[in-house]
Amino acid sequence: MAEKLPRLRMNLEFQPSPFRDRPGLLIRDLRGYSDTHVIVPPALVGCLQLLDGYGTDLDLRQELVRLTGSLEVGEIGRHFLESLSQAGLLEDETYARMRDAKHRAFAESPVRRAVHAGLTYPGEADALRDGLAEILNHEPAPAPRQDLVGIAAPHVSIEGGRACYRSAYRLLSPELANRTFVVLGTSHHGAPDRFGLTRKPFSTPLGETVTAARLVDELVEKAAAALDPEDYCHSIEHSIEFQVLFLQHLFGPAVRLLPILCGAYVRSFTEGGKPEADPAVDAFLAALREIAEREGERLFWVLGVDLAHVGRRYGDPVPAAAARGVMLDVAKRDRSRLELAVSGDADGFWESVCRNRDPLHWCGSSAIYTFLKALPGARGEVEHYDQWNIDEESVVSFAALSFSSGRRPAPPPSSSPAGPGL
């Protein structure tokens, strides 16, 4: 009797192999349960379609016979399935053990470790400080802005996005040191229409942060249905980790954070309407807005967001090059959408994201919309815009944004005999 084949996991990354001597399709675990990647040879790529939860071992054998012209395909099939299973790429017992072990390790860890240290930025404190200082001190800092309430910076690699990181973080003056930094990061791997929290301090080569536990508790109390209180995604996500590095560099290791991962607003995107049509999302946005109104200037908002994703890596049929060809039109469309965001037009911004199912593939749209709903009076400026080839055929765009309260500082007392204010 035919046996069903295990299903290929849905939360994987697929891209053409970057190795000339090993062509095929590279499959990588986005959730970090396995460090092993697999390259499926070109002839076997079509066999992956059988791993849909319905295909059987007889279907796989028939396909391999067709491909090879031989009946002796048992060993090929076993090796194909074993390679995928051992890498944790199939929904089977091996994957379940890997997943449970990783979730347990994060739950038991007293800190959120800097998983990208030594990989995408220096793992040694002095080298990291020197690198961040070189980025931020490249040009003089502007005069402090008294009404500044938030910034948006990229979460692309620090080297690739250095000009935008500089433009965003050079706006932060020493007077902000005592604020609680609400960091809204893109959740690349979390559940849609949900938010990820953690009470764990972020441990980086620069030291440990402090988490605003009282605010975490308040969000859990008021919007539990929208939240994963100790979201495993925090353990692998870079969108907040990169912001933490700059904040620690500017204000010391024990900077105070409220770290929030924002999952994609998939329901609104696919079914229409606003994200808050989901009662759980509505409760979270209301709770966050209440915190923003009550805490006021005790908070400062940081968004870790990228914009468009274009090219072969992201499923487009043709390659892309930064600031050339199709990316010139992408830049115009990015800027048009950014203008809606910095003008505070949350509804117009979200409508532009949903139009035609967002061919620009913005990954920061949920975090931006969340911010606009939490601080509806904020208005901003585009400080810098840039694009970067993440590989030879694919481009990510990003920007540095600044947001102000819209309130002008009070004028100094008048020395006129008529009295102040006259």
* pLDDT single digits (tens) 259-287: 999 999 999 988 889 999 999 999 999 99
* pLDDT single digits (tens) 306-339: 999 999 889 899 999 999 999 999 999 999 999 9
What pLDDT is stored for residue 406 in this prediction? 66
CA distances from 326 to 163, 164, 284, 314, 355 (A): 22, 21, 38, 14, 19
Q: What distance lies between CA 337 and its chain's CA centroid? A: 18
Residue 273 CB partners (closer than 8 Å, separation 6+):
none
What does the angle CA 117 – CA 158 – CA 98 come to, to the nearest 5 degrees? 40
Three-class DSSP category at 146:
coil
CA distance 71 to 50: 19
What pLDDT is stored for residue 421 in this prediction? 31
Beta-bridged to residue 335, according to DSSP, are none
Structure-token pair, residue 412: 């100094």
Chain mean pLDDT for the chain: 93
What single string gives the DSSP state of each residue in 189-215? SSPTT-EEE--SPEEETTEE-EE-HHH
Structure-token pair, residue 53: 């939860």
Place domain 111-404 in its CATH homologous superfamily.
LigB-like (3.40.830.10)
Segments in 203-360 forming alpha helices (H): 213-222, 241-251, 266-271, 279-295, 326-342, 346-354
**In the chain, what are the domain boundaries?**
12-104, 111-404
Three-class DSSP category at 389:
strand
Q: Could you tell me if 57 and 2 are in contact, meaning their C-beta atoms sit under 8 angstroms apart?
A: yes
What pLDDT is stored for residue 141 in this prediction? 76
* pLDDT single digits (tens) 367-420: 999 999 999 999 999 999 999 999 999 999 999 999 999 654 444 444 333 333
Rg of the chain on CA atoms, in Å: 24
The C-alpha torsion from 311 through 313 and 318 to 323, rounded to 10°, is 30
* pLDDT single digits (tens) 325-334: 999 999 999 9
The answer to whether residue 10 scores a pLDDT higher than 80 is yes
Instruction: Write down the pTM of the prediction.
Output: 0.91
Q: Could you tell me if 130 and 138 are in contact, meaning their C-beta atoms sit under 8 angstroms apart?
A: no
Scan for tokens 């805490």, then name that residue.
295
* pLDDT single digits (tens) 241-257: 999 999 999 999 999 99
* pLDDT single digits (tens) 120-151: 999 999 999 999 999 999 777 787 788 999 99
Ramachandran quadrant class, 216 (left: phi over 0; alpha: psi -120 to 50; beta: rest): alpha
What pLDDT is stored for residue 416 in this prediction? 33
Scan for tokens 């008294």, then name that residue.
146
